[in-house]
């Protein structure tokens, strides 16, 4: 249990406390360690994430000056942790490039993301604060934004009305317009990449797939990157040519999702989604949401036109066109749950997976748990020392027995007829044999042969009766 965040003295003190309730000598090691971890969590020394990782064999929770507190999501270029600066006590988000992706290509892309974010500073973009290289991994430190991404917000609390959607999209468009002015195209605008706080403030995140219009290294011909539910036709055809207009199209798809609760083309494979983006029109918003303002529905159509030349030209024009539905201040987000799940047929949003609890990657040392036995739920259950027993039912009640009861589920009279029938059959068989012997040999079998034959016949028929009874009892269950 020893680690850089828990002293040996603290662990010794907890062990002394536990000895009053647990016997150290008879308690299994895994159960003892879990008891220590639970006590440290209760005392506020460890977070639940740290305790779970320590039980799995992980020992390091530091990256430079940052202590990892929890896992908050995974993006296209890495895993994101909640962390705290050791000296300043400031809570931040730390994005780490996993060792499994530490190839020259991914490392170069991660370094480009670090430099790109460092050059951008806007209230509607997640700000970069620090970066470094420690424990053989690159990491990027950004501001921590409390709240949900738009995908989770809509799935949990329902679609947005026009004012709330206008407020969210206007802020996102402001961040994108600033990035476009600096030559940066996001290329993966989607609900999962828009962080929304409860008071309605919006931050665009995950520029890991972003490309600079001035950097040829980010223009890789033929490589389709992004999420197909929100991808512009020109980005599908020629990924290297995607410009600001592709972000406008994706923002239009995102606005469609915010109002309707589903992407424009739900269902199907990635290939089928791509074909629909290239050649089909989505279901008009008024058919899905009869109460939607016709004006904002027409705006969505203008943002999603197939030809970039016919589409709204820029993010700044989107801001202007959204003014009729954009309040002067951000609109607080609803926190009244609705019964909703992932939109039907929507491509899983891999850019924001904080909802699902997955094993942490081996980023800071220790063993990789991604393929191990422990899945973060604590030590495996202790084996049952008692012999297994078969559970059967008797007239709706459960009971335990050491073996199957052949009479279970059948009336007593139906089973009792089996030996009676067997006895009658033996008596008839004896008469038949006696008659046959008199006809064949001209005399009876005598006093010895008859009982022997009677016994053999009775044994065979009794076995047959037992087998029949077993079949009847089993078929009755």
Residue 46 lies in a domain: yes
Residue 333, in any domain of the structure:
no
Query: Could you count the other beta carbons within 10 Å of the beta carbon of residue 30?
Result: 15
Is 232 a domain residue?
Answer: yes
Domain count, the chain: 3
Residue 347 in any domain: the answer is no
CB–CB of 147/189 below 8 Å?
no
Examine the domain organization and report whether 470 and 445 are in the same domain. yes
Angstrom distance (rounded) from CA 257 to CA 285: 10
Are residues 116 and 186 located together in one domain of the fold?
no
Q: Comparing 63-72, 167-176, 339-348, 465-474, which segment has the lowest mean pLDDT?
A: 339-348
Q: Do residue 209 and residue 316 come from a single domain?
A: yes
> Using CA atoms, how far apart are residues 79 and 377, in angstroms rounded to an integer?
20
CATH number at residue 278: 1.10.510.10
pLDDT of amino acid 381: 30
Cβ atoms of 323 and 342 within 8 Å: the answer is no
The token pair that represents 379 in the structure block: 């030590």
Q: Which of 426, 418, 423 is nearest to 471 (CA)?
A: 418
Three-state DSSP at 176 gives helix
Residues 314 and 165 in one domain: yes
Task: Classify residue 343: in a domain, yes or no.
Answer: no
- Give dist(CA 396, CA 275) in Å, integer: 56
Query: How many C-beta neighbours within 10 Å does residue 5 have?
Result: 19
Instruction: Please check whether residues 139 and 157 belong to one and the same domain.
Output: no
Same domain, 40 and 111: yes
CATH code at position 82: 3.30.200.20
Kindly state whether residues 13 and 116 are assigned to the same domain: yes
Q: Are residues 133 and 152 in the same domain?
A: no
Is the CB of residue 462 less than 8 Å from the CB of residue 418?
no
Where a domain ends, among 94, 123, 143? 143
pLDDT tens, position by position, 378-408: 333 323 333 332 222 333 333 333 333 333 3
The edge-to-edge listing of strands for the beta sheet with 78-85 is: 62-63, 66-75, 78-85, 91-96, 137-143, 128-134
Q: Residue 416 in contact with residue 407, Cβ under 8 Å?
A: no
Last residue of a domain, one of 88, 112, 143: 143
For residue 244, pLDDT beyond 70: yes
Greater confidence, 412 or 389?
412
Q: 194 and 92, same structural domain? A: no
Question: Cα Rg for the chain, rounded, in angstroms?
Answer: 36
Over the stretch 73-99, which tens digit does the pLDDT of each residue have? Answer: 876 567 899 999 999 999 999 999 877
> What is the per-residue pLDDT for 243?
93
Asked whether residue 174 falls in the same domain as residue 314, the answer is yes
Please give the DSSP secondary-structure letter assigned to residue 308: T
The catalytic residue positions are: 188
Instruction: Specify whether the CB–CB gap between 4 and 364 falls below 8 A.
Output: no
> At which of 270, 299, 325 does a domain end?
325
Residue 365 lies in a domain: no
Structural domain boundaries, residue 156: 148-325
In this structure, the answer to whether residues 136 and 162 fall within a common structural domain is: no
The structure's pTM equals 0.67
């Amino acid at each position: 249990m020893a680690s850089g965040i828990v002293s040996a003295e603290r662990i010794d003190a907890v062990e002394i406390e536990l000895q009053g309730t647990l016997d150290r000598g008879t308690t299994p090691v895994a159960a003892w360690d879990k008891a220590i971890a639970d006590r440290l969590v209760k005392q506020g020394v460890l977070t639940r994430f740290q305790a779970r990782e320590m039980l799995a064999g992980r020992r390091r929770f530091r990256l430079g000056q940052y202590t990892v507190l929890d896992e908050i999501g995974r993006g296209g270029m890495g895993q994101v942790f909640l962390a705290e600066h050791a000296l300043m006590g400031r809570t931040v988000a730390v994005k780490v490039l996993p060792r499994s992706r530490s190839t020259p290509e991914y490392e170069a892309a991660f370094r480009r993301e670090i430099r790109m974010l460092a050059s951008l500073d806007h209230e509607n973009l997640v700000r970069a604060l620090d970066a470094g290289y420690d424990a053989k991994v690159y990491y990027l430190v950004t501001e921590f934004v409390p709240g949900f991404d738009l995908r989770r917000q809509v799935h949990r609390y329902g679609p947005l009305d026009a004012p709330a959607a206008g407020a969210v999209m206007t802020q996102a468009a402001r961040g994108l317009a600033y990035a476009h002015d600096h030559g940066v195209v996001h290329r993966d605008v989607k609900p999962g990449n828009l962080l929304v706080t409860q008071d309605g403030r919006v931050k665009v995140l995950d520029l890991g797939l972003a490309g600079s219009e001035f950097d040829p290294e980010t223009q890789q011909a033929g490589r389709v990157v992004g999420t197909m539910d929100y991808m512009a036709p020109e980005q599908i055809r020629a990924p290297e040519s995607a410009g600001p207009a592709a972000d406008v199209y994706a923002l239009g798809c995102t606005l469609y999702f915010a109002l309707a609760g589903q992407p424009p083309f739900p269902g199907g494979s990635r290939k089928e989604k791509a074909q629909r983006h290239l050649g089909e029109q989505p279901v008009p918003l008024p058919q899905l949401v009869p109460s939607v303002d016709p004006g904002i529905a027409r705006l969505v159509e203008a943002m999603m036109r197939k030809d970039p030349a016919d589409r709204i030209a820029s993010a700044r024009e989107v801001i202007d066109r959204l003014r009729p539905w954009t309040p002067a201040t951000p609109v607080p987000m609803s926190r009244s749950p609705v019964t909703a799940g992932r939109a039907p047929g929507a491509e899983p949003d891999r850019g924001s997976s904080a909802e699902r609890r997955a094993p942490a990657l081996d980023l800071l040392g220790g063993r990789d748990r991604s393929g191990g036995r422990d899945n973060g739920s604590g030590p495996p259950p202790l084996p049952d020392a008692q012999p297994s027993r078969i559970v059967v039912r008797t007239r709706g009640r459960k009971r335990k027995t050491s073996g199957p009861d052949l009479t279970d589920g059948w009336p007593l009279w139906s089973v009792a007829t089996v030996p009676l029938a067997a006895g009658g059959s033996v008596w008839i068989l004896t008469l038949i044999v006696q008659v046959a012997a008199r006809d064949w040999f001209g005399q009876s079998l005598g006093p010895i042969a008859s009982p022997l034959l009677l016994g053999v016949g009775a044994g065979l028929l009794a076995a047959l009766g037992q087998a029949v009874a077993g079949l009847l009892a089993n078929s009755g269950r």
